[in-house]
Amino acid sequence: MSRPGARAGSSPEDRLRRACPCLGALWDRIFQEKSDPPAPPGPVYTAMWSFEAGHPDELSFRRGDLFLVLNSSGDWWDAHKIERNGRVLAAGIVPSNYLTQADSLSEQPWYFGTMNRFDAQGHLMGPENQDGSFLVRHSERDGVGYVLSVRSSNRVKHYKIVQSNESSFHIAASLPFPTLQALVEHYQSAVLQNAGRLGSACKRRQPGRSDLSHSTVDHWTLPKGEFSLGEQLGSGYFADVYRGRWKNLINVAVKILKSDSDVDFREFHREVNMLKTLHHRYLISLFAICTESTPYYIITELMEKGSLLSFLRGPEGRLQDVPALVDMSVQVSEAMAYLEERRSIHRDLAARNVLVGADYICKVADFGLARIIKEPVYVTTEKKIPYKWSAPEALSHGTFSSKSDVWSFGILLYEVFTYGGVPYPGLDNQEVFEQVKTGYRMPKPTDCPDFIYHLMTECWQQEPEDRPDFRTLQRRLNSSTYEFK
């Protein structure tokens, strides 16, 4: 039974403070010593997106939550979730690409950190943004510094922000500002040359995952029961592809190998082990496999817009201008340069094997799959030998290398700049083989820029050693347009 006059739920601290309010400083010192200790000093990070944990060791969090990172190695970090006063609320593992270091600039909704012009264009041209949408980025190019990128008249324009010192930023030399924020606020009310007033900050898209969970980084042979299947997305020679969900948390693509595919189980595991080590922002992430029974499952990230080929042939693809097409080509070349440097050969590079996701991000898919499944020929979804994409030495001698992938990249460029056109129109496979052997090369497509066609013809040099490597192709595509317009 409570004492008369005692307030329900009052603590000893409350009663002491009411009884002797003049000793407030003493009570502060006594009770502060008994409270949870603050987190140790260090850089504080803030969450840019909300995250739902997929494992008991992971932390769920909301956008804006603060973290102190204890171990920042790899894609998954050990962290404390903290209050603004530093008090620790919880400890666990968090995905690193959901966090950014908390400071006045990175917390601005319009600041996107280090980014090239193509990535900026991909973000701004997303359907959720309108004319006037903008972002500020730090250019990847040395010596450029900050750039204001603005969507205007269904294009993206880039303005260099000159930083004279720590407190002087300007686009027009006659109009300096003490901070980037002051510059942005000015152009939200004043007209920017050739672009009008700045509107809303570019909408941010939640980043993709490199793994389903930190627990699947090293243990990624999972039971089929963890996955639910939705609509069928496609059917190929080796597999059917379905939309799926992992533990009802994450959307995935589930590739179900057909039961009559000739799969060597040991070779399958060896090759998938190799593929799981390949991580790049423009390669499809391999999440898991399910092999407790046939048919086997291959689990990858889901790309909502489907193949690059079908995208280019559709109404949305037809709206893409030359800079957007160059952007897509750069992304593919960067992924292929990564594979080339790791001595991994794709063997079936084509627009049908590149997938398109949000913000028009392009990711190379099915790399290595031709070596996993034991079939005498490589085939398309139409069950035809891909003569039109294969280098002469691959067709005549079965010789594959990074340079045969370069030949295929030249054909992919043709597909991109014809909006999904069929290579060598009017020629059948045998005619293509005979014509290419004698030196025939496709003419420049209508409206294709000269520099793109020049790259195509370099990719189609008869001798493999005369073709450029992918890093050279990436560098030349990147330098083919100006940073500012």
The helix (run of H) or strand (run of E) holding residue 336 is helix 322-341
327 is catalytic: no
**Domain containing 120 — which CATH number?**
3.30.505.10
Whether residues 355 and 448 share a domain: the answer is yes
Strands (E), 134-226: 134-138, 146-152, 155-165, 168-170
Cβ pair 323, 121 in contact under 8 A: yes
pLDDT in tens, 266-293: 667 776 777 788 889 899 988 999 988 8
**Domain containing 97 — which CATH number?**
2.30.30.40
Whether residues 376 and 412 share a domain: the answer is yes
Q: Please check the confidence at residue 2 and state whether its pLDDT lies above 50.
A: no
Whether residues 312 and 455 share a domain: the answer is yes
Mean pLDDT of 406-414: 98
Is 211 a member of any domain?
no
Is 97 a member of any domain?
yes
Is 202 a member of any domain?
no
Q: Please check the confidence at residue 380 and state whether its pLDDT lies above 50.
A: no
Cβ pair 307, 354 in contact under 8 A: yes
pLDDT in tens, 315-348: 999 988 888 899 899 999 999 999 999 888 888 8
Show contacts of 216-223: CB within 8 Å, 24+ apart: 216/287, 216/288, 217/74, 217/75, 217/76, 220/276, 220/287, 220/288, 220/289, 221/288, 221/289, 221/290, 221/291, 222/288, 222/289, 222/290, 222/299, 223/290, 223/292
Local confidence band at 375 (pLDDT 50, 70, 90 cut-offs) = very low
Whether residues 238 and 282 share a domain: the answer is yes
Q: Please check the confidence at residue 57 and state whether its pLDDT lies above 50.
A: yes
Cβ pair 119, 282 in contact under 8 A: no
Mean pLDDT of 17-38: 57
Q: Please check the confidence at residue 474 and state whether its pLDDT lies above 80.
A: yes
What percentage of the chain exceeds 90 in pLDDT?
46
Question: How is the beta sheet containing 111-114 ordered, strand by strand?
Answer: 111-114, 134-138, 146-152, 155-165, 168-170
Whether residues 316 and 458 share a domain: the answer is yes
Is 168 a member of any domain?
yes
pLDDT in tens, 287-305: 999 988 888 899 999 998 9
Separation between Cα atoms, residue 141 and residue 119, nearest integer Å? 13
Q: Which residue is listed with tokens 């003493």? A: 26
Cβ pair 277, 343 in contact under 8 A: no
Whether residues 315 and 357 share a domain: the answer is yes
> What is the pTM for the complete model shown?
0.75
Whether residues 180 and 72 share a domain: the answer is no
Is 201 a member of any domain?
no
Whether residues 440 and 315 share a domain: the answer is yes
Is 262 a member of any domain?
yes
**Domain containing 235 — which CATH number?**
3.30.200.20
Pairing of β 297-301 and β 250-257 = antiparallel
Whether residues 288 and 337 share a domain: the answer is no
Whether residues 246 and 220 share a domain: the answer is yes
Mean pLDDT of 156-181: 90
Task: Please tell me whether 485 is known to bind a ligand.
Answer: no
Is 337 a member of any domain?
yes
Is the dihedral angle over the CA atoms 24, 30, 35, 39 positive or is it negative? positive
Separation between Cα atoms, residue 65 and residue 92, nearest integer Å? 14
Question: Which residue, of 167, 187, 207, is where some domain finishes?
Answer: 187
Strands (E), 76-219: 76-82, 88-95, 99-101, 111-114, 134-138, 146-152, 155-165, 168-170
Local confidence band at 8 (pLDDT 50, 70, 90 cut-offs) = very low
Whether residues 321 and 364 share a domain: the answer is yes
* Active-site residue identified among 327, 348, 359, 405: 348
Question: Which residue, of 239, 272, 301, is where some domain finishes?
Answer: 301
Local confidence band at 410 (pLDDT 50, 70, 90 cut-offs) = very high
pLDDT at res. 10: 56
Those residues whose C-beta lies under 8 Å from the C-beta of residue 336, and which sit 6 or more positions away, are 346, 349, 364, 405, 409, 470, 473
Q: Please check the confidence at residue 43 and state whether its pLDDT lies above 60.
A: yes
Is 177 a member of any domain?
yes
Local confidence band at 484 (pLDDT 50, 70, 90 cut-offs) = very low
Better pLDDT: 441 or 144:
441
Local confidence band at 354 (pLDDT 50, 70, 90 cut-offs) = very high
Show contacts of 293-297: CB within 8 Å, 24+ apart: 293/224, 294/257, 294/259, 295/256, 295/257, 295/258, 295/259, 296/256, 296/257, 296/263, 296/268, 297/224, 297/227, 297/254, 297/255, 297/256, 297/257
R_g of the chain, CA atoms, integer Å: 28
How long a stretch of residues is the chain? 485
Whether residues 447 and 412 share a domain: the answer is yes
Question: Which residue, of 143, 167, 187, is where some domain finishes?
Answer: 187
Burial of 253 (0-12, 13-18, 19+ CB in 10 A): buried
Separation between Cα atoms, residue 203 and residue 457, nearest integer Å? 39
Domain hosting residue 224, numbered range: 216-301
**Domain containing 435 — which CATH number?**
1.10.510.10
The number of domains in the chain is 4
Separation between Cα atoms, residue 222 and residue 229, nearest integer Å? 15
